[in-house]
Amino acid sequence: MEELNDTGPDMDEVTLRQLISDVRDGSVDPDDAVARLTRLPFADVGDALVDHHRAIRQGMPEAVYGPGKSADQCVTIVGELLEHGAGPVLLTRADVVQRAACLDAHGSADEANQSMLWRRPTPTREANVLVITAGTSDLPVAHEARLTLQAHGFDPSLISDVGVSGLHRLLARVDDITGADAVIVVAGMEGALASVIGGLTSGPVVAVPTSVGYGAGLEGVTALLSMHASCASGISVVGIDNGFGAACAIARSCR
């Protein structure tokens, strides 16, 4: 019988089906398969229960939220996912110390706005997803959304600094906007760009209010309420500065 290494890559749906097939045809011993499956739901690494089952349940990779965790905890959780997971590993909102510790322990990663991605997959999703910002100051949130989309197998495009205060800049990119299958709109100030984009495209639009803005912007609250009150129907709105959440919403919409 072929021995199955229970410290090898964990399973997505494809490898789980292969394991079942291997047990059925006798190439894998049932006891070895059971040893592998015992780690599948989650792994107890001390301070965290690392979810290895998410890809099978949701078809989406696990992500690690950095704030509130120590650098050692980030290293341990990311290491568990890299060692026993088959897919990409995403660490979000990590501070300088956390990022340095993870790079030292686990090697290079793609980075954007304090987020890190190991094992970025080759794009497998055909949907043409566009991330668009009202201003240059919104780019950090847009970069977080873009990196998260890449973790989910998309190859997103980015258009920046086309807010409504200079509408001619946006009109020059109308063909790109109408040609997109889905759009993430990242905007602070009064958040008006989401309504404009929502009136131009038929695809899903996810609006991300940012904390960019002057006094009456209320650190993103004004943009948030404006997007919720949009006259363009069917726009989804995530929390302030939540580029990660916007990307996940698109991943759920564009299967």
| 172-199 per-position pLDDT tens digit | 999 999 999 999 999 999 999 999 999 9
Q: Are residues 86 and 158 located together in one domain of the fold?
A: no
Query: What is the longest distance spanned by two Cα atoms in the chain?
Result: 69
Q: Are residues 161 and 112 located together in one domain of the fold?
A: no
44 sits in which H/E element: strand 42-44
Instruction: Count other C-beta atoms under 10 Å from residue 165's C-beta.
Output: 12
Instruction: Give the domain range for residue 59.
Output: 43-118
SS3 content of the chain, % helix, strand, coil (to 5): 45, 15, 40
Q: Show which of 118, 138, 172 is a domain's final residue.
A: 118
Q: Are residues 114 and 174 located together in one domain of the fold?
A: no
| pTM greater than 0.85 | no
Total length of the chain: 255
Q: What is the pLDDT of residue 42?
A: 59
CB 187 within 8 A of CB 194: yes
Nearest to 159 by CA among 132, 186, 182: 132
Whether 67 is in a domain gets the answer: yes
Residues with Cβ < 8 Å from 89, sequence gap 6 or more? 61, 62, 64, 78, 81, 82, 117, 118, 119
Q: Are residues 104 and 153 located together in one domain of the fold?
A: no
Q: Show which of 84, 118, 152 is a domain's final residue.
A: 118
Dihedral angle sign, alpha carbons of residues 37, 40, 43, 49: negative
Q: Are residues 113 and 226 located together in one domain of the fold?
A: no
6: Cα within 13 Å, side-chain hemisphere:
13
Whether 7 is in a domain gets the answer: no
DSSP 100-116: HHHHHHH---EEETTEE
Q: How far is the C-alpha of 255 from the C-alpha of 252, rounded, in Å?
A: 6
Q: Are residues 248 and 203 located together in one domain of the fold?
A: yes
Q: How far is the C-alpha of 69 from the C-alpha of 65, rounded, in Å?
A: 8
pLDDT in tens, 25-68: 888 888 777 666 655 665 655 566 566 566 666 667 778 899 99
35: Cα within 13 Å, side-chain hemisphere:
11
Q: Are residues 243 and 200 located together in one domain of the fold?
A: yes
- CATH code, 179: 3.40.50.1970
Q: Are residues 201 and 182 located together in one domain of the fold?
A: yes
DSSP 8-31: S----HHHHHHHHHHHHHTSB-HH
β-pairing verdict for 115-118 and 89-92: antiparallel
The parts of the chain modelled with pLDDT lower than 50 are 1-10
Cα 201–Cα 204–Cα 207 angle in degrees, nearest 5: 95
